[in-house]
């Protein structure tokens, strides 16, 4: 899913950027979201202000609602026929996972709803993420921990950031007290300087103790990891991949990466460029794909690239997004302003009308 990089003054805001909803703030009034199939045909017409991935047969969408003569924007959920299955009444939502979705009513806390739209875990959290591996990261307002499907704390709040579990590992962040913590989030990649990243298992035990400046969720047994100023490597960070034991399998060398999926990972090259006598600047390069051994399998040629899902991946060419197959062949021409990943044979895309 295409989510823009953002910097946050408040750590508690980070989940909005890692949201599985294909949010694009500040969309122009002539831009709308719909859903296409693998041929690029619209199955659900582009009528929504925002849209996210289908999961469990439902997808979050944002629409205008009229109440008491006032117009506002709210999130609800549609089915694959484009029918509103859960009333659009929420200020924020994330996607469904195993029958539950995080949701927040206007001026309220986060809780979890079922597919009927009823809260089964009452709103009580300042922030909340989707369930994964049976647990969900949630914040009590001060720290992050993990809850079970009954809403009980399984790992008590103690982290400044707690990322969702994947492959029975979750990245968590402690401030190490060396200075101000700066955080940026892009999709499921978390970069923080001045902090100490660990990976924990579902009991809360630290299984990877690292000093990486950046971490990400596991996919295909590997997770993104960045080294930078803390390791004496020239800034900006360089990204590689670690296994579940914390061993570097693909050495840090890329300007940016995504977690692997379906045996491939999107990676971005980069290089230093001289801009005058004694001066140089970092120039991000093109995106391509490597396999889990670090071998390039799709050459670096795209302006942007997303993880593979259901055999296709979103790529950006000349400011527009389309989709490629695993050989790198374009199968849906780049023509969308924004896009999301294919799930349940449909992908959300944004067009200008």
Share of the chain above pLDDT 70, in %: 83
The DSSP H or E segment spanning 14 is: helix 14-17
Q: Strand, helix or coil at 221? A: coil
Confidence band, pLDDT 50/70/90 cuts, at residue 175: low
Rounded to an integer, what distance in angstroms lies between the CA atom of residue 44 and that of residue 35? 5
Q: Residue 23: is it exposed, middle or buried by C-beta count within 10 angstroms (0-12/13-18/19+)? A: buried
Mean pLDDT of the region 312-337? 98
Cβ of 106: how many Cβ atoms within 10 Å? 10
Residue 22 sits at the vertex; the CA angle it makes with 256 and 145, to the nearest 5 degrees, is: 75
Q: What is the CA radius of gyration of the chain?
A: 20
Q: How far apart are CA 77 and CA 115, in angstroms?
A: 9
Check residue 21 and give its pLDDT.
44
Residue 213: its pLDDT value, please?
Answer: 80
Looking at per-residue confidence, does 33 or 14 come out higher? 33
4-13, 39-48, 141-150: which has the minimum mean pLDDT? Answer: 4-13
Higher pLDDT, 136 or 226: 136
Give 21-67 pLDDT, tens digit per residue: 444 444 556 899 999 999 999 999 999 999 999 999 999 999 999 88
pLDDT exceeds cutoff 90 at 212: no
Per residue in 93-121, pLDDT (tens digit) is 999 999 999 999 998 999 999 999 999 99
- DSSP-derived letter for residue 15 is H
pLDDT value at residue 29: 65
pLDDT value at residue 226: 86
Q: Quick one: pLDDT at residue 16? A: 37
pLDDT at 191: 60
Pick left, alpha or beta for residue 56 (phi over 0 → left; psi -120 to 50 → alpha; otherwise beta): left
- For residues 89-95, average pLDDT: 97
Tokens of 294: 């670090």
Predicted confidence (pLDDT) per residue in 254-300, tens digit: 988 999 999 999 999 988 788 777 777 778 899 999 999 999 999 99
Backbone torsions φ then ψ of 47, nearest 5 degrees: -130, 0
């Amino acid at each position: 899913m295409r989510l823009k990089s953002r910097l946050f003054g408040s750590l508690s805001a980070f989940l909005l950027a890692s949201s599985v909803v294909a949010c694009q703030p500040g969309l122009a009034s002539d831009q709308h979201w719909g859903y296409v199939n693998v041929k690029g045909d619209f199955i659900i017409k582009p009528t929504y202000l925002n849209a996210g991935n289908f999961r469990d047969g439902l997808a979050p969408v944002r629409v205008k609602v009229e109440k008491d003569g006032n117009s506002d924007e709210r999130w609800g959920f549609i089915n694959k026929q484009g029918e509103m299955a859960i009333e659009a009444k929420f200020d924020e939502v994330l996607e469904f996972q195993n029958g539950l979705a995080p949701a927040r009513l206007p001026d309220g806390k986060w809780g979890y709803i079922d597919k009927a739209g009823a809260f089964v875990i009452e709103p009580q959290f300042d922030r909340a993420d989707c369930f994964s591996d049976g647990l969900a990261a949630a914040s009590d307002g001060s720290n992050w921990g993990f809850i079970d499907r009954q809403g009980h704390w399984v790992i008590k709040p103690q982290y400044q950031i707690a990322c969702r579990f994947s492959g029975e590992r979750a990245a968590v962040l402690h401030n190490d007290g060396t200075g101000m913590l700066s955080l940026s989030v892009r999709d499921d990649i978390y970069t923080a300087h001045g902090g100490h990243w660990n990976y924990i298992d579902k009991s809360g035990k630290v299984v990877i103790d690292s000093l990486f400046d950046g971490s990400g969720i596991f996919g295909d047994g590997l997770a993104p990891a960045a080294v930078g100023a803390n390791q004496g490597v020239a800034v900006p960070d360089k990204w590689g991949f670690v296994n579940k034991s914390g061993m570097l399998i693909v050495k840090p060398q890329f300007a940016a990466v995504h977690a692997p999926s379906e045996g491939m990972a999107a990676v971005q090259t980069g290089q230093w460029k001289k801009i005058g006598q004694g001066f140089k600047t970092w120039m991000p390069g093109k995106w391509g794909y490597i396999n889990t051994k670090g071998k390039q399998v799709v050459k670096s040629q795209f302006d942007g690239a997303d993880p593979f899902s259901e055999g296709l991946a979103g790529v950006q060419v000349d400011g527009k997004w389309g989709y490629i197959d695993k050989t790198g062949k374009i199968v849906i021409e780049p023509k969308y302003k924004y896009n999301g990943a294919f799930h349940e044979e449909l992908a959300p895309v944004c067009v200008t009308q």
